[in-house]
Amino acid sequence: MWLKLAALLTRPATKYVFIALALVFPLVAQNEYQIYVMASAFVWAIAVYGLNIITGYCGQLNLAHGGFFALGAYTLGLLTADYSWSYWPAFVAALAMTAVVGFFVGIVSLRLKEHYFAIFTLCVGFIMYMLMDKWEELTHGPVGVRNIAPPNGFGLVDFTETTPIYYLVLVFLMLTMWFIGRLSRSLLGRTFTAIRNGDELAQSLGINLMRNKVLAFVLSTTFAGLAGALYAGMVRFIGPEDANVLHTFDMITYLLVGGIGTLSGPLVGTIGIVWLTQSLQFMEEYRMILFGPLLVFLVIFFPRGIVGSFLSWLHRRTQGKAEAAAKAQQSRDTTGRRVNNNA
């Protein structure tokens, strides 16, 4: 009974139910604030999807992710506020900026193995933070950037309102998930996963390590930039604190809680934790007292997070049942039902 119910969740049709829920959410929300919180959770989820590409699929812990998020936000903010670009060209420029910087950081940092890569990216993220904080002529320093243009609705919609921006962010989230879903099932996604299993093994399979790692890294930083640009257009005020490494740690927590390397994990983890911290107001400041031990607990006992653990459980159960059935019938032609591991 539970098994059947659980298996329903992995059906392709289930996603339409969730899309419908997301679409009606602003109608059932009790106030505007809830819509706003949900929209910001979606923005973070997009960034976490980016992190999942390089850290989840490819297995390289990137600690500069928050820096790239801020880079996207700053590119958009400065272009619209100081150089009077309109939103959408600046949006494209923000994506291009994070992709290009990601490419150059990638070709240097991805030659480094495991720990070195993590430490190197930690330093890169910090350099980004320092530049935003100290390079006052360009970034306004600690004061931050004000008067950022909202997304241009061409007179049709007003994106300074909460509900329209919610739907805008939702559209980008769905595009992101659609792309990542396709990526993770493709040969390219499998190539990334092979790299996570080990550099040596991947190379013995004829995989070009550098090219694939750099591609994964650029994809991940571009999604960080996309999230950053949406964030800047939504809050319309940014500062160097947006590049604080704590945001990277937040995103790692979302990813780990939801399920690293899974397709719906980033969304589940982000929405879950964002709402948890929102509902416990006092936690805003001290959330790390719970997050810290939570991270430790997860990597020790549930390294695959909510979604990963659920899928493993489901797979074992259906597989076990299928094999038992096959044995009972003593026939070779019954094969186990496959659970789509990409759910």
Partner 1 sequence: MLRIENLTKMFGGLAAVKDISVEFEANQVNAIIGPNGAGKSTFFNLVAGSHKPSSGRIIFDGEDITTLRCDHIAQRGVGRTFQTTNLFEQASVLDNLIVGHRLRTRSGLWDVLVNSRRLQQEEKLSREKAREALDFVGLSHVENRFIADITQEERKRVAFALAMATDPKILLLDEPAAGVNPEETDGLAQLIRKMKDHGLTVCLIEHKMDMIMGIADKIMVLDHGEKIAEGAPEQVREDPAVIEAYLGSDDDAAA
Partner 2 sequence: MNILLQNLINGLTLGSIYSLVALGLTLVYGILHIPNFAHGALYMVGAFMTYFFMVDLGAHYWIAMLGSGAVVAALGVLCERLVFHPLRHSPPIHDKIAAIGILLFLEALVQMLWGADFRRMSSPFTGVMNIQGLIIPEQRALIIAGAAVLVVGLQLFLRRTMTGSTILAMAQNREGAFLVGIDANRVAMMTFAISGMLAAFAATLYAPINLVYPAMGHLVIMKAFVIIIIGGMGSIPGAVIGGMIIGFTEALGGFYLSNDYKDVIAFALLVVILSIRPQGLFTKGAH
Q: What angle do CA 177, 218, 88 make, to 5 degrees?
A: 65
Is residue 216 close enough to count as binding partner 2 by CB under 8 A? no
Residue 145 φ/ψ, nearest 5 degrees: -110, 125
299, 321, 323, 337: which one binds partner 2 (CB under 8 A):
299
CB contact at 8 A, 269 and 256: yes
**Choice between 207 and 295, CB closer to partner 2:** 295
35, 61, 194, 343: which one binds partner 2 (CB under 8 A):
61
Residue 238 φ/ψ, nearest 5 degrees: -130, 160
CB contact at 8 A, 272 and 259: no
Q: Is the dihedral of CA 343, 62, 106, 237 positive or negative?
A: positive
Number of residues that bind partner 2 (CB under 8 A): 40
In the complex, least distance from residue 302 CB atom to partner 2, rounded to whole angstroms: 11
186, 292, 299, 325: which one binds partner 1 (CB under 8 A):
186
CB contact at 8 A, 106 and 213: yes
Stretch 165-184 residues interacting with partner 1 (CB under 8 A) = 179, 182-183
In the complex, least distance from residue 120 CB atom to partner 2, rounded to whole angstroms: 6
In the complex, least distance from residue 113 CB atom to partner 2, rounded to whole angstroms: 8
Q: How far is CA 139 from CA 42, 122, 142, in A?
A: 26, 21, 8
Stretch 81-120 residues interacting with partner 2 (CB under 8 A) = 108-109, 111-112, 114-116, 118-120
- Which window, 9-17, 55-63, 160-168, 318-326, contacts partner 2 (CB under 8 A)? 55-63
User: Taking the C-alpha atoms of 217, 223, 229 and 234 in order, what is their torsion angle to the nearest 10 degrees?
Assistant: -140
Q: How far apart are CA 54 and CA 282, in angstroms?
A: 33
Q: Which residues pair with 177 in a beta bridge?
A: none
9, 29, 100, 122: which one binds partner 2 (CB under 8 A):
122
Residue 207 binding result from partner 1, partner 2, none, given CB thresholds of 5 to 8 Å by partner type: partner 1
Number of residues that bind partner 1 (CB under 8 A): 37
Is residue 256 close enough to count as binding partner 2 by CB under 8 A? yes
Q: Is the dihedral of CA 38, 42, 47, 51 positive or negative?
A: positive
**Contacting positions for partner 2 (CB under 8 A):** 55, 59, 61, 108-109, 111-112, 114-116, 118-120, 122-124, 126-127, 130-131, 134, 245-246, 249, 252, 256, 285-289, 291-296, 299-300, 303
